Amino acid sequence: VQLVESGGGLVQAGESLRLSCAFSGFVADDYAIGWFRRAPGKEREGASCINADGSAYYIDSVKGRFTISIDTARNTVYLQMNSLKPEDTAAYYCAATAGTVIPAKTINPEAFDYWGQGIQVTVSS
């Protein structure tokens, strides 16, 4: 299993970025894929995840601004991030796990088995 993130960078507050996660080694029909982030001095947190049935989940701080989607023909998961804020600054990671993930209040990183290397997103004020 391999996951490779791309699309990060430096943007100003209010702007948008789209992160991509190209995956290989598994079939998307059987996996859940998530986007996590770790801000400086903070613990890793799940931002969003999507299941094979298309059900998607978001943490409250990104609801209405971030959209997760999957292109099974390209084996790629996207995270469209709009109205970015300085507090979105973090290293973003793509992760995958077999089966379905139904988060409670948070998207638990421990539920995901495979991880990408991460990519930096910096939002300046």
Q: What is the pLDDT of residues 42-99, one digit of tens each?
A: 999 999 999 999 999 999 999 999 999 999 999 999 999 999 999 999 999 999 999 9
Nearest to 72 by CA among 25, 119, 14, 29: 29
Q: How many CA atoms lie within 13 A of 34 on its CB side?
A: 31
pLDDT tens-place string over residues 36-54: 999 999 999 999 999 999 9
Looking at residue 105, its pLDDT comes to: 84
Among 75, 115, 108, residue whose Cα is nearest residue 92: 115
Task: Report pLDDT for 104.
Answer: 82
CA-to-CA dists, residue 70 to 16, 20, 64, 87, angstroms: 18, 10, 18, 25
